[in-house]
Each structure stands twice: as structure tokens, then as C-alpha cells.
């Protein structure tokens, strides 16, 4: 893999609803179109040699949305899991999921587990879906795990460091993102991977997620390649 290609890309897929509204469509059509953009993003990552792709699919805050929209999203999600399994296997893609998955409808949870198990041996690209995910909640869960170990005298407080804390997170088996992309022009990270993006390069695209394509992907990769990643140090 080329050195100027990020190993791990995380994407906040934003703007489905506004994309649909601009076209006089129902929000559900925006989500449907956004599903096609997910396929394009995966194809772009495979073509470029990216090894990890994390997609902010449904946030913990999204449960506050209209029940009809949530039901539609879950239905889309379940259908995608059913229809894409063969493609995941054929293309060597391993599926993972992070988030408070117990809140998901049982059929969606079962579909996720089926696809995760069926693709466990694949290693061309790891696609992680952040579903019912909130980074603050993830960090609280990690803190509780450590607190329980300390209380049970299985862990000494002075042994807790950044490396150990990272192992308690849902992303323990995934390297931190090199590049965070957000679509729709919004300048915030929306409670997504707060710990993990400490030194990620951030690129905000003005286009809505349903318009995401190879040209936009390549533009982001080119911008990333121009960045000087110093991680707090001074080069030269």
C-alpha cells in the first residue's frame, strides 16, 4: 500500500434527508440513495488499498427521530445485510459492528451477527458499521470495565494508561482512523470516535452523502496526501 493512502478511513455519512428534500422526495429515498453510496465507498477503498473503513451508520442520538423513519432505516439495514452478504464474501470483506447493539431490533441484530460470522476469515477490507453508536457512551462503558477490575482487585489503578484504555473500547481490534471524512458541509464530529480521532486528518465535503462517488473519494485522498502529519512533533 502506498504511504500516502490512509490505512483506516472513517466516514460520517451526512445529508441523506436534505438531499431528498432538495429533490422533492421523501427522506426514505435519501436513505436509499445513501445505501448506494456505501457500496461506492467500499469499492473505492478496495481499489485504493485502504484496509479499514468505519461508517457512522446510526447514532445513539438517532433513536430520538420519528419512529416511522427509524423503522424505515432498520428495514433498509436488514435488507442490505441480507442482500450484500454474498458480495462481502466474494470481495474478501470482513464485516464488524460497534455500538449499543442490544437496542437494535432482533432481526437486525441477527443479520449483523450472521454477516459478521460469515465474513470473519476475510482480510481484504474490514468494514465496521457504527450502529446505535455514541462515542461518549463507548468511553463510559470502557471506564466502567476498568473500574470493575479495580474494584475486584484484578487491576491496579497505576496500571491504567492510554494503551489499556484503548483495549477497553469497542474499537480495540482496529487501528485509529488516519482520515475522517464528513459529508454535507457540517463542521462537527457528532459524538463519533472521539477518542480514536485524536490525530486523524479531517476533511469536510460540501456534497451530501448520496452524491459521494469516486471523484469525491479521490479528492479526499489527494488532500490527505498533501497533509503533513506531525502528531505533535515538528518536522525538519
Dihedral angle over CA of 56, 26, 187, 174, nearest 10: 10
Q: Are 104 and 73 in contact (CB under 8 A)?
A: no
First-to-last alpha carbon distance for the chain, in angstroms, is: 25
CB–CB of 189/21 below 8 Å?
no
User: What sections of the chain are H helices per DSSP?
Assistant: 16-22, 27-48, 67-90, 106-118, 135-151, 162-168, 214-226
- Would you name the residues annotated as active-site residues? 14, 62
Cα 214–48–11 angle (5° rounding)? 60
Amino acid at each position: 500500500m502506498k504511504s500516502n493512502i490512509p490505512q483506516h478511513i472513517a466516514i460520517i455519512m451526512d445529508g441523506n434527508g436534505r438531499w431528498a428534500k432538495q429533490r422533492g422526495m421523501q427522506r426514505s429515498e435519501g436513505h436509499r440513495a445513501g445505501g448506494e453510496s456505501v457500496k461506492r465507498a467500499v469499492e473505492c477503498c478496495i481499489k485504493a488499498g485502504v484496509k479499514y473503513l468505519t461508517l457512522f451508520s446510526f447514532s445513539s442520538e438517532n433513536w430520538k427521530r420519528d419512529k416511522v423513519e427509524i423503522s424505515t432505516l432498520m428495514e433498509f439495514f436488514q435488507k442490505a445485510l441480507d442482500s450484500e452478504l454474498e458480495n462481502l464474501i466474494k470481495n474478501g470483506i470482513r464485516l464488524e459492528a460497534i455500538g449499543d447493539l442490544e437496542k437494535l431490533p432482533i432481526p437486525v441484530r441477527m443479520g449483523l451477527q450472521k454477516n459478521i460470522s460469515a465474513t470473519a476469515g476475510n482480510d481484504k477490507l474490514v468494514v465496521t458499521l457504527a450502529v446505535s453508536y455514541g462515542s461518549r457512551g463507548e468511553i463510559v462503558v470502557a471506564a466502567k470495565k476498568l473500574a470493575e477490575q479495580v474494584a475486584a482487585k484484578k487491576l491496579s489503578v497505576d496500571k491504567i494508561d492510554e494503551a489499556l484504555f484503548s483495549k477497553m473500547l469497542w474499537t480495540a481490534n482496529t487501528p485509529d482512523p488516519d482520515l475522517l471524512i464528513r459529508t454535507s458541509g457540517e463542521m462537527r464530529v457528532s459524538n463519533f470516535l472521539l477518542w480514536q480521532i485524536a490525530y486523524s486528518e479531517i476533511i469536510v465535503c460540501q456534497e451530501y452523502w448520496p452524491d459521494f462517488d469516486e471523484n469525491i473519494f479521490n479528492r479526499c485522498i489527494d488532500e490527505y496526501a498533501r497533509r503533513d502529519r506531525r502528531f505533535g512533533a515538528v518536522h525538519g
